Amino acid sequence: MIPVTCFKGKKVALFGLGGSGLSSALALKEGGAHVIVWDDAPARNDLARSKGLEARDLAELDWKGLSALVLSPGVPLTHPEPHWTVELAREAGVEVIGDIELFSRERALVCPDAPVICITGTNGKSTTTALTTHLLKSLGRDVQMGGNIGTPVFDLAPLAPHRHYVIECSSYQIDLAPGLAPTAGIHMNLSPDHLDRHGTMENYAGIKERLVAAARTAIVGVDDEMSAAIADRLEAAGHDVRRISGHQTQTHGVFARDGLLICADKGVETVIADLSRAPSLRGQHNAQNAAAACAALLALGVAPQELAAGLESFPGLKHRMQIIARHEGTLFINDSKATNADATAWALASYPRLYWIAGGKPKSGGIEPLGEFFPRIVRAYLIGEAAEEFARTLDGKVPYEISGTLDVAVQRAAADAALDPQAEKVIMLSPACASFDQYPNFEVRGDAFAESVRALLAVPEKTEDA
């Protein structure tokens, strides 16, 4: 645990006792704060009490005696309307902050030299966070990974000057972290998301921009117009900006070209790695992820030639273009995290010959936006509620069958692929749908796919790490 000592002897309110909220409350208590917590769920309040925390209704507090309100990232700060605790805090002149702000203040107080890399963006931030961590570990560095990727930041090892912290930050967390100041800040990309919580695309983009604007080195993806504009603004304001791209040549930053990952320093190019040797980083989107992670390590002083081995050994994230097995020229890939057409587009663009398993609980727009990738699909195997709708879209364009369930789809796809004489073919679960018709979440769906593949091939549970 990282204790929060910056509020020692002060009274702090905390609302929201999910994973990060409970972790923050315990860290504040460990650091000497008088923390009072509350949640709408009685079971969470009971859990907090069992851990020695004071849980009572914040509506009954004297707010003028508080030093801060710590708000869980899932609780609305501004839209669709401020949470009632936010209104009470503002009326009393109490600042409203979140877990990443607490971490930033504690680092500034007790260990300002600890390297911190923060990653945000609409897509790719989890893969980039995991890849950055993997690269640091491959170089023998002491590294901790947490934040929005799953491990609450205060559950990481205590702050130390030699210890690197790689933190994934959601827009919700950034909005509650005015003092965020990472060593390297990464912004990946922008597309419409979470507008119910931020009101407009401009507000959403502005929150993302804060992370890189506050960083010692700003690493900015430039493969979409709004993010490229962020890079331009920061550079014009005198920031140290490194541009990253999955396909566009840059003069100062890291980019991919002709399958090579290249570092550019004021126009001088150095090849970092051949991405064809990194099977878990296939596709233009993963090239941008690799560029971001490498740019962060370069900003910390790592030499370009030190990065290739780590890129090649990266196993990927579970459920995100995850290689489950390779059998007689066929790759089995779990991309269960692709719950909409935009996410599936990246997957379909990454391989030339696909046996595609798709379907589930449909989302608006269906798979019609994926038409440009249909020529890559040898056959589609449709499952779940969306099967009939997807069949109508594919009719006359892509051979398909309605398999109904995932295990049947895996068996049928494997049988067809076994008859395909082509050297490389891919059986891919990339559903373009939510999972809730047949599975509680995409993780369970992805695990079911992996189990079906392993049962079919009679292989032990082991993800290929290439």
With CA atoms as reference, report the closest residue to 190 among 222, 227, 228, 242.
227
CB atoms within 10 A of CB 328: 8
Kindly state the tokens that stand for 79: 């839209």
Kindly state the tokens that stand for 109: 């107080």
Asked if omega into 369 is within 30° of 0 (cis), the reply is no
Helix (H) or strand (E) holding 391: helix 387-394
CA distances from 448 to 27, 173, 455 (A): 37, 32, 10
Report residue 405 CA to chain centroid gap.
28
Helix (H, G, I), strand (E, B) or coil at 387: helix
Kindly state the tokens that stand for 105: 């203040």
For the annotated binding site for ATP, the residues are 121-127
Q: Which residue is it, tokens 């009101």?
A: 199
Helix (H, G, I), strand (E, B) or coil at 47: helix
DSSP 272-314: EEEGGG-GGG-SHHHHHHHHHHHHHHHHTT--GGGSHHHHHH-
Helix (H, G, I), strand (E, B) or coil at 372: helix
- Helix ranges (H only) for 143-247 are 171-175, 195-198, 201-213, 225-236
∠ Cα 260 264 269 (to 5°): 65
Cα 53 from Cα 35, distance rounded (Å) = 7
CB 381 within 8 A of CB 401: yes
Cα 313 from Cα 209, distance rounded (Å) = 31
Helix (H) or strand (E) holding 108: helix 99-110
Q: Compute the chain's Rg from CA coordinates.
A: 23
Half-sphere exposure (CA, 13 Å, Cβ side) for 40?
A: 7
Cα 354 from Cα 331, distance rounded (Å) = 10
For the annotated binding site, the residues are 121-127
- Which residues are within 8 A (CB) of 77 and not within 5 positions of it... i.e. 6 or more apart? 71, 83, 86, 96, 172, 175, 176, 197
Q: What is the DSSP letter of 157?
A: P
